[in-house]
Structure 1
Amino acid sequence: MSSMLPGDKNNHKPQLPEPFRDIIKTMNDFFTDKPMRGFLQSIDEFFKQPFPIGTGFQVETVETGKEYIVSAELPGIKKEQIQLNITGNYLTISVENQELETEENDLTRVYHRKYVRQQASRTIALPQAINEKSIKASYRDGLLQIRIPQEKGRVIDIEE
């Protein structure tokens, strides 16, 4: 059954028995031939994209004692594409991208035009209502920072 000959001194690597060699060859062919190879390459391409906008974005909230600092990483996004919305104690960060993609082929006279719209948003809940007049937001080098001052509530004395 084995293809390894006892007198073969040139063969340094032991050969697998024939049934296993055929199974491994079949598995190897399965993953390297189309359509599976194309499918695996498309999965690789999907994970190479650093920031697919439809999947959300990284947001971090830090409490300093005086203010809340909300930071969002938005690489490649323009300031005009960002919208901040406040409702009660909720802060919503929305990002929207609209593009017109055009393909033209003068040889075949085929013109293809499509509008692409991508949108992502994150909502952050804070423990107190937000005073929209005291918020400061800045956007520089793909990093959005929102500073929300912590407001002191009124202390109520309890009677005996």
Structure 2
Amino acid sequence: MSSMLPEDKNNGKRPLPEPFRDLFKSMNDFLTEKPVRGFLQTIDDFFKTPFPVGSGFHVDTVETGKEYIITAELPGVKREQINLNITGNYLTISVENKELETEEDDINKIYRQRFTRQQSSRTISLPHAINEKMVKASYKDGLLQIKIPQEKGKIIEIED
């Protein structure tokens, strides 16, 4: 029993040897002082409030025989944030969110502005070129629906 170290009267645990106590205190001070604290807070904020549509959003493509119906689920997204781009046989749906946050603290004379821009997109490939003049798109209640008519290619007969 005499080989045991004396216990701390406050919490029943053995006190840290002096060099480790100083090391932990230094690390704690480093992580709680600016600018590191601000950097760590920024990382925490990023993971607490990700873009509503995340890294992607759900898209369904249905072929009816006459047309392709592409449906994208975009809850919480405004119509102005959606962009559709057609290139050849590719349709790209992009969603962009821009926000400007302003904080003012008159007591401590701190004024801060933060601009955030988040973007997410999905590209759908169809088996033929898309005629952009024939595409119809509608957006209601967080559901984007795009109708693209199927085009029949010209049939070429092979001679003997």
Q: Give the shorter-chain TM-score range.
A: 0.5 to 0.7
Return the letter of the residue paired with 1:80. E
Equivalent in the alignment of 1:145? 145
Is the counterpart of residue 57 in structure 1 residue 61 in structure 2? no
Shift of 1:49: 6.5
Residue 115 of structure 2 is aligned to residue 110 of structure 1: no
User: Residues 51 and 73 (structure 1 numbering): CA distance in 2 closer, same or farther, change over 3 Å?
Assistant: farther
Normalised by the length of structure 1, the TM-score is 0.67
Q: How many residues are treated as equivalent by the alignment?
A: 117
Question: What is the identity, as a one-letter code, of the residue corresponding to 1:118?
Answer: Q
1:32-71 equivalence runs, <5 A: 46=47, 52-71=52-71
The whole-number CA distance in structure 2 between the counterparts of 1:131 and 1:94 is 19
- 2:134 is aligned to 134
Q: Whole-Å Cα distance in 1 between the matches of residues 141 and 50 of structure 2?
A: 16
Distance 1:152 1:65 in 2: 11
Q: 1:66 to 1:49 in 2, by over 3 A?
A: farther
Aligned pair 1:92/2:81, yes or no? no
Q: Deviation at 1:111?
A: 1.2
Within 5 Å, give how 1:21-36 maps onto structure 2. Answer: none
Any gaps of 5 or more consecutive residues in structure 1? 1-41
The offset of 1:107, in angstroms, is 2.0
1:49–1:62 distance in 2 versus 1, CA, 3 Å: farther
Structure 2 unaligned spans of 5+: 1-42
Distance 1:110 1:126 in 2: 53
Find runs of 4+ consecutive structure 1 residues off by over 4 angstroms: 48-51
Confirm or deny: 8 A CA contact 2:89 2:128 kept in the other structure.
Answer: yes
- The question of whether the paired residues in 1 share the 8 Å contact of 2:99 and 2:117 is answered with yes
Distance, in Å, in 2 between the alignment partners of 1:89 and 1:133 is 14
Q: Structure 2: how far apart are the matches of 1:53 and 1:150? A: 29
